[in-house]
Structure 1
């Protein structure tokens, strides 16, 4: 990718010093719109956070003294992206704290706000390459003091994802892991791998795409690429420009909040390897046996547990859907319907589950479903909550036809199977001989299925 140049010597290389007693904590550079308009020069500042003082950033300064960092610990670098207004990212320090809660390690926040705060995006792109040169030199110095490149994890957001890639390429792909959170698309779409983040930039590269139709990249970049909600429009984000700046940044920024949820383990999001998003929605990708007892990969921080299998597969696209707000995770079921209408029926299905003090809802409406006589229709039902023990459920059918008579769906058998781990749960819930009248909710108690090979 980007080779070190003489610019290295013009850049500020921030490195390690011990914090003197009483020394104030350092903070991320806070700029404003004025800085973004007049432009700023590259000035990379590295802030070290540790478990000993997780809320206090220690500025790492260049020094010939032995490093204050505990280089026997692994190190995580968190690298922000384009900052058109110069304000500090709201998610930055919370993410650093969550990493420290998960593991005892050095967390280094890469503050390149002086290079990122610019209304000229193309200038920030150029500055991102200079930032990568700076960071490469820093990591080489770490290595000289005994740090292992295997133990380095770089988490890059937007332009920060490509900075991680540039650094990784300069180090010959020897760092342990790069996580790209919605890698920036403008100026990088369609580029050769050496000009953007690529799976050869680290021993393991995982990427999440949340804004592929605007600020992010559509093409897969890593060993595994996650596409929540198809990778474009994220639930809960504004649909019109009337919502102001949130309309432009919500989808793009959702990648950081999804990753942070994987860090705090509020809930686990299982992703399903699939060729296309439509195939995923049509429940054609629920077989996870290729991953063995672990099942399909869990999205986010812990996906590294699937590293060996993913490296063997080469490149994997995975999909999952989310809720529009925290908790983002959904509960996945396979829902099979066997009908006996004389004529073909079309429509949508809504399912609700009820348990002790719990309820959850799934609406299957990504397309009009086709129901044929004596033909099984297999659906993916993703519920917005968890019901540990299903005591009753309801089903609503709608043909979505405004004019004309109301339709009915005559059902021989409904079958509900939770997808968990490498296979669905062996125990399935069924209902037999059911009449679904259009837009009328039918509630019933499901029973264990008689035939497990439905």
Structure 2
């Protein structure tokens, strides 16, 4: 008899342990669900440092029922967008782990896959309103139990960005921060601010645009709007429809992977406030003095260091370019070239830096640059990696001339200035560049007259 009692007790303990350790998973649907359509259901999955990879389903009416939910700490809501395939987002586990690595917080994944999985996109757009009301009710319950709206950060992807805005509007713009990753464009472009995300929806709204010509939103909708590679086509993404799904979603999804890089501190992406991408690429927006010692703002999780300054400014548009894959960051230099050719030359510059056993390349070919006698041409050189020290430099001047004799570019001075790190300027004097041939030299410290 004693043995049976012991076994029963052991079984009960095992069941309780299993229940305590049971993980709640993001809803996994398939194309069949999208084909027939799904009705809205909102599930809130909590991840904490105690359970980084194990979601715990929260009660909408009683958030304090979860012993791991810290009402008085930071709560970050992660909200996905349209899910026509019905599958969970591939980036979901990564973003929760990286957020928790940055800070001890509540990460709440807003699972509205039932409602987002539907071939009828217009119905999904309608569902964002109802899902936002559901989430607003939960946050109000948090408030009633002592949580502060200041400590709430919402990260919304595509439709999730506008959903975050609807929640913020319902809470009178008092939540701490909304981060919008390529807000959806279809059905939102051209609408009034109350029908989409806008800067009044939170105390601070930061936005990244990566697919404004297709699935994303073009116009600025935050306190600061970052336009990666101009906000449209992203490097490394397919250019033709023959690539299948990747052609449709690669640019749009790039916003998430850029944000993951910022969370992972893989590298820092410095962005330059500017009126247009063309002016940025032409090197006309390299002065960041209005941001003080911190310099131009960085994209991603750490943009909050510039929060007070940005909130006090009109809506800011900032631009940067990226590599084709992670690490996405590039290193920015200002390149000045002073020439003494009798005739004006037009062409492109490729420059390489060598040091630390590595090399970094910048190709300035978005348009032909003008080189006029005794006139300094200022260029923005964006290198694919950062070198702590530069021992050698090579530079190549090229044109599109196919049948004419090769030009020479006679240079009085080449000058390089790192735009993100204070270090000695690098110069070289009296160099002749043969068209389409690399000229390599060791840079010299610039004279005092070169400090700019």
Give the TM-score of the pair, scaled to structure 2. Answer: 0.94
Post-superposition Cα deviations, 1:347-375, rounded to whole Å, max 9, x if no partner, equal 10000000021210000001011111111
Aligned partners of 1:445 and 1:65: how far apart in 2?
A: 63
How far off is 1:452 after superposition?
Answer: 2.0
Q: How do residues 290-369 of structure 1 correspond to structure 2 at under 5 angstroms?
A: 290-369=290-369
Q: How do residues 9-28 of structure 1 correspond to structure 2 at under 5 angstroms?
A: 21-23=17-19, 24-28=22-26
Q: Which residue of structure 2 lines up, in the alignment, with residue 51 of structure 1? A: 49
Aligned partners of 1:294 and 1:194: how far apart in 2?
A: 34
CA 381–141 in structure 1, closer or farther in 2 if over 3 Å, else same: same
- In the alignment of these two chains, the number of paired residues is 433
CA 303–64 in structure 1, closer or farther in 2 if over 3 Å, else same: closer
Q: Which residue of structure 2 lines up, in the alignment, with residue 35 of structure 1? A: 33
Q: How do residues 50-89 of structure 1 correspond to structure 2 at under 5 angstroms?
A: 50-63=48-61, 66-68=64-66, 69-89=69-89
Aligned partners of 1:150 and 1:62: how far apart in 2?
A: 20
Structure having the higher helix fraction is 2
RMSD: 1.3
Q: Is 1:433 aligned to residue 430 of structure 2?
A: yes
Other structure's SS at 1:219 match: coil
Gaps of 5+ in 1: 1-18
Residue 67 of structure 1 contacts residue 145 of structure 1 at CA under 8 Å; is this kept in 2? no
CA 66–81 in structure 1, closer or farther in 2 if over 3 Å, else same: closer
Residue 61 of structure 2 contacts residue 141 of structure 2 at CA under 8 Å; is this kept in 1? no
Aligned partners of 1:87 and 1:293: how far apart in 2?
A: 45
Q: Which residue of structure 1 lines up, in the alignment, with residue 3 of structure 2? A: none
Q: Which residue of structure 2 lines up, in the alignment, with residue 12 of structure 1? A: none
Aligned partners of 1:275 and 1:62: how far apart in 2?
A: 44
Residue 64 of structure 2 contacts residue 71 of structure 2 at CA under 8 Å; is this kept in 1? no
Aligned partners of 2:18 and 2:236: how far apart in 1?
A: 44
Aligned partners of 1:259 and 1:66: how far apart in 2?
A: 30
Aligned partners of 2:292 and 2:17: how far apart in 1?
A: 52
Post-superposition Cα deviations, 1:205-224, rounded to whole Å, max 9, x if no partner, equal 00000001100011000000
How far off is 1:402 after superposition?
Answer: 1.8
Q: How do residues 43-442 of structure 1 correspond to structure 2 at under 5 angstroms?
A: 43-63=41-61, 66-68=64-66, 69-420=69-420, 425=422, 427-442=424-439
Gaps of 5+ in 2: 1-14
Aligned partners of 2:283 and 2:245: how far apart in 1?
A: 35
Aligned partners of 1:249 and 1:411: how far apart in 2?
A: 45
How far off is 1:427 after superposition?
Answer: 1.6
Residue 83 of structure 2 contacts residue 116 of structure 2 at CA under 8 Å; is this kept in 1? yes
Residue 153 of structure 1 contacts residue 176 of structure 1 at CA under 8 Å; is this kept in 2? yes
Residue 54 of structure 1 contacts residue 100 of structure 1 at CA under 8 Å; is this kept in 2? yes
Aligned partners of 2:38 and 2:134: how far apart in 1?
A: 16
Other structure's SS at 2:419 match: strand
Other structure's SS at 2:219 match: coil
Aligned partners of 1:33 and 1:90: how far apart in 2?
A: 16
Give the TM-score of the pair, scaled to structure 1. Answer: 0.94
Q: Which residue of structure 2 lines up, in the alignment, with residue 447 of structure 1? A: 444
Residue 425 of structure 2 contacts residue 451 of structure 2 at CA under 8 Å; is this kept in 1? no
CA 59–347 in structure 1, closer or farther in 2 if over 3 Å, else same: same
Other structure's SS at 1:22 match: helix
Aligned partners of 1:335 and 1:367: how far apart in 2?
A: 15
Post-superposition Cα deviations, 1:381-438, rounded to whole Å, max 9, x if no partner, equal 00001111100010001012222211111111100110016xxx35211111111111
Aligned partners of 1:56 and 1:453: how far apart in 2?
A: 55
